Amino acid sequence: MNFDMKLHISIEDTGILRFNRFSCRRDKLPELASKWKYQVWREHGCREMLVEKILVNEDEDIKEEVKEYEEDMGRGHLPF
């Protein structure tokens, strides 16, 4: 299944919107979103980042699912 994802973040009080498309099962979205979020954080110099929301197909915010996934994987230190 295809999922369109929007990552709404703020880095040093600057709002940033990134887009991506994933083709996967629904249960894999938190893992893929986590990896993508980490990649975006590195692209912006590992500066302080606040994730405002992670929208899937314009209507479902999976921010909390991603945060829970990262905590379960021992990655609770990643920016959120």
Is 38 inside any structural domain? yes
Does residue 20 belong to any structural domain of this protein? yes
Q: Would you state the pLDDT for residue 73?
A: 85
Residues 6+ apart with CB under 8 A from 28: 22
Residue 14 has φ and ψ, to the nearest 5°, of -110, 120
Task: Read off the pTM.
Answer: 0.87
Q: Please check whether residue 65 lies inside any domain of the structure.
A: yes
Q: State the pLDDT at residue 12.
A: 85
Residue 4 is predicted with a pLDDT of 96
Residues 17 and 6 sit within 8 Å (Cβ to Cβ) = yes
Q: What are the C-alpha distances in Å from 57 to residues 19, 21, 40, 46, 62?
A: 11, 9, 19, 27, 11
73's CB contacts (< 8 A; 6+ apart) are 34
pLDDT of residue 13: 83
What is the number of domains present in the chain?
A: 1
Residue 58 lies in a domain: yes
Range of the domain at 34: 2-72
Query: Which residues of the chain, if any, have pLDDT below 70?
Result: 76-80
pLDDT at 80: 67
